[in-house]
A and B are shown apart, each in its own frame.
Chain A
Amino acid sequence: MQFLSDEDVFGLEKKANEIRQSVIEMLVAAGSGHTAGPLDMADVFTLLYFHILHHRPNEPLWSERDRLILSNGHICPVLYATLAHAGYFPKEELMTLRKFGTRLQGHPHREALPGLETTSGPLGSGLSQALGMALAERMDNPYSSKYFYCLTGDGELDEGQIWEAFMHAGKEQLHNLIVIIDRNGIQIDGYTTDVMPLEPLAEKLSAFNWDVQEVDGHNMRMLNDAIGKAQSVYSQPSVIIAHTIPSRGVDVFERDFRWHGNPPGKGPEDRVKRGEQAEVALRRLRTLAGHITAPDHS
């Protein structure tokens, strides 16, 4: 694990903010897509691609890269935006999201865009794939220090398949497998606690023989520490429950489940009229809305 200085944290938070702005611009251009998840996972994605992952944006298929498997494919705007900001492809291409002929399919397709490790969208299958990759790596090289990061949603945990995979990974004791759950508490139809309660989630995962941590999913230092600990756990796979605020970064969208599957311009109007949603979101992010504070060297 690499320590984060104050400057590092400031830089990452600024980058996450830029990525959030890209997400809003992409969704507005597309006219459809998901808002809450991409915004609330921007901090996790930024930390991973700009601090944690061993990867080469100019050589996406570099064999020694860590793998990031996005299981809840519907939050792909944040993956695409992060890949573009990391240099995998030109940022201008972000505006082609969901349009005919694009490499940025509505849900990610591996063969369409270098940098994607798999195709996903139908929920619950990413963890099985990450586990297959981690298992294959261990077969070839038991001393490998390559890590396999799987990002999932929390609504996604309603799927039976993902528990098949949690059980299997526990059996295999895959120390190179790290799952980060976006615990934003919402899904399409409402709050997870109403649709299908997941708690006690940490205890369930622990009972499946996983090392479990819970962190603030917007705190770069806590996330970095948790991933560092997960990397050092041996004989168990690790899961980090990242508690996030849905639509984080745009305060007038935050915490409302109705932003799960709507883009700015088509979301709920209680707080901002549809015609103003895109502009307000971008203004909030550009003014940082008091969320990011430069390190104080006085």
Chain B
Amino acid sequence: MPAEHLNKKLFDEDIERVPNRDGFGEGLREAGERDKQVVALCGDLTESTRMSIFAEQFPERFVQVGVAEQSMASVASGMAAMGKVPFMASYAMFSPGRNWEQIRTTIAYNNTNVKIIGSHAGVSVGPDGATHQAIEDIALTRVMPNMTVVVPCDSIEAKKATLAAASHIGPLYIRLAREKTPVVTTADSPFVVGKAEVYLSPEGKEKKIGIIACGTILHNALLAGKRLNDEGIGTSVMNLATIKPLDEEAVLAYAKEHEVIVTVEEHQIAGGMGSAVAELLSEKHPLRVVRIGVRDQFGQSGEPDELLKHYGIDVDSLYEAAKNRAV
């Protein structure tokens, strides 16, 4: 059964759908109200990253950098060195994609208090095609020392993550998506950077499959988990919103309760969240880990649903993959 605090319409067709970048925009505005040191930088994508909400309310604290993600990263680093709390936003493909080295040297190694917002991540960006579909960004960010990596599952969690980022000291990456996606959580859902939460448990059944998901794809994992439970295959679903630092204690305890772990992410299976989980479990509690995600391919144009199906991350594919590997 789903955790008490989740949206009551979790499994309903008419569940409310909101892009999680909306939650970021609202969270940044609130962070700006709470702390005058919060500043925002954008690379000519103010509206679509929802940084526009902050920019309209605090124009004196907003820096339009132009289409210059590399400079933006280092400008943000310089502002942080003077005590500001800079949030820099672009599409994940360009930041941390194009400006990876600037982030590594001037933010992560330099250990400056910069928050990196990568929107439009994943294949669900849709028609724009592979050039704009970042499916490598979790890997790119989680290999950097000092960096925290957060992947919110919906707009409410994105808002909480943004507010948490503003009070977190140190470099932090938040991965966001373009599409309207189901609002899984509520204001009551717990969110702490570095903490994983179990969102679905098999009621009165033996625990067989432990799904671990992150980001907006979590809702698909919950739907697949429900279907498996309905068929009598005990399945749990964990929301692993923070990829780094990994909540090792929670993931290990979860793995010990299940026969197989299935990770689900809208990202390359190489280097992403599933890899982080597999790395931990291979050392501390070896068991079968099935990683579901994009398998060493680039994305392409199409509607989000078509693409998720093509790359095997839609509900049917998750259900089949989990069932076939686990039973």
Interface residues of A (CB under 8 A from B): 69, 109-111, 117-122, 124-126, 128-137, 139-140, 160-161, 164-165, 167-168
Contacts and interface: CB of A to CB of B under 8 A. Distances in A.
Contacts of A131: 71, 75, 78
Contact of A161 (B39, B70, B83, B86): B70
B280 interface: no
Q: Which of B72, B78, B81, B83 has the most CB of A within 10 A?
A: B78
Contacts of B81: 117-118, 129, 132-133, 136
A128 B78 contact: yes
6 contacts: A109-B110, A111-B111, A128-B77, A139-B60, A139-B84, A165-B74
Interface string B68-97: 101111111111111110100000000000
Interface of B: 39, 60-61, 63, 65-66, 68, 70-84, 86, 101-102, 105-106, 109-111
Contacts of B101: 122
Contacts of B74: 125-126, 128-129, 132, 161, 165
A151 to B, nearest CB: 15
A134 B79 CA distance: 8
A165 B81 CA distance: 17
A156 to B, nearest CB: 13
B152 to A, nearest CB: 27
B105 to A, nearest CB: 5
A120 B105 contact: yes
A110 B108 CA distance: 12
Given A117-B81, A136-B84, A168 B75 contact: yes
B109 A128 contact: no
A129 B39 contact: no
A136 B111 contact: no
A134 B82 CA distance: 9
Q: Which of A110, A121, A134, A160 has the most CB of B within 10 A?
A: A110
Contacts of A165: 71, 74-75
Given A161-B70, A161-B71, A168-B65, A136 B109 contact: no
Contacts of A110: 110-111
A131 B106 CA distance: 13
Contacts of A111: 110-111
A136 B85 CA distance: 10
Nearest to A120: B105
Given A133-B79, A136-B79, A119 B109 contact: yes
B66 A132 contact: no
Contacts of A117: 81
Contacts of B76: 132
